[in-house]
């Protein structure tokens, strides 16, 4: 049985207008009330993630900043995996190399910096590699996320799994972009709700990955239905 379900937010629980799909969040709340730990695993700041979890009635812990921060019960009670100093050093370095690079964030962050999606991310990552900077940029489809190299949702999820004394096969995750791939690796079952993103053969080999026929929030509903039909979560 699945005991922990980790779900991305943007592009997964939200529509194209960035509004939460109320049907899918209602389903997730019912799962939580039935004893399944449903956590948010998102690139949003810890303050946004905590607030969403609280008002949606989900678990009282979760993953924010794409794995840079785990909160427990309160937005100030956190475990931090990345270093904001790495992100700042990388931003200053790239600012000298790439014209027009800009920060694009409204909420304070503890480990990462959000950038406008107005430059070639592959060029930027190659510059960071050659410069020996301990940072990387990932594209969530909403923004470019600049963080320490070791930060990812998989590391954070693995930490939570260990703390809860769970097995990999007792964990499922749902996401829609490259920032979710590390989380898929740590899950017994994973669901990709964006058929325009290719995860590659390695992910499919190392986890029970299902690419849903429906996209976004409707893909989340399809994922939950699949888990129910296969008797992996309660009805």
Three-state SS at 56:
helix
3-state secondary structure 123-156: HHHHHHHHCCCCCEEEECCCCEEEECCCCCHHHH
Q: 194 pLDDT exceeds 80?
A: yes
The rounded distance, in Å, linking the Cα atoms of 88 and 146 is 9
Structure-block tokens of residue 7: 């779900």
- pLDDT one-digit tens code per residue, 57-77: 999 999 999 999 999 999 889
Q: Please give the distance of CA 2 from its chain centroid, rounded to a whole number.
A: 19
Residues near 62 by Cβ (< 8 Å), separated by ≥ 6? 39, 40, 41, 42, 49, 50, 53, 70, 71
Q: What's the predicted TM-score (pTM) here?
A: 0.94
- pLDDT one-digit tens code per residue, 30-57: 999 999 999 999 999 999 999 999 999 9
Q: 106 pLDDT exceeds 90?
A: no
């Amino acid at each position: 049985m699945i005991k922990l379900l980790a779900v991305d937010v943007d592009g997964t629980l939200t529509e194209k207008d960035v509004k939460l799909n109320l049907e899918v969040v209602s389903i997730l709340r019912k799962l939580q009330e039935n004893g399944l730990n449903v956590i948010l695993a998102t690139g949003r700041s810890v303050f946004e993630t905590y607030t969403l979890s609280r008002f949606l009635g989900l678990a009282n812990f979760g993953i924010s900043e794409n794995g840079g921060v785990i909160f427990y019960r309160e937005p100030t009670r956190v475990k931090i995996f990345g270093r904001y100093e790495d992100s700042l050093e990388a931003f200053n370095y790239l600012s000298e190399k790439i014209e027009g690079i800009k920060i694009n964030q409204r909420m304070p962050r503890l480990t990462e910096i959000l950038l406008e999606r107005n430059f070639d991310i592959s060029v930027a990552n190659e510059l960071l590699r050659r410069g020996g900077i301990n940072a990387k940029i990932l594209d969530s489809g909403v923004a470019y996320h600049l963080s320490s190299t070791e930060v990812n949702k998989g590391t954070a999820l693995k930490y939570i799994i260990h703390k809860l004394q769970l097995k990999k096969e007792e964990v499922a995750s749902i996401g829609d972009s490259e920032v979710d791939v590390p989380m898929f690796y740590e899950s017994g079952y994973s669901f990709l709700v964006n058929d325009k993103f290719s995860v590659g053969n390695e992910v499919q080999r190392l986890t029970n990955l299902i690419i849903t026929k429906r996209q976004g929030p409707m893909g989340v509903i399809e994922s939950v239905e699949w888990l129910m039909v296969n008797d992996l979560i309660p009805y």
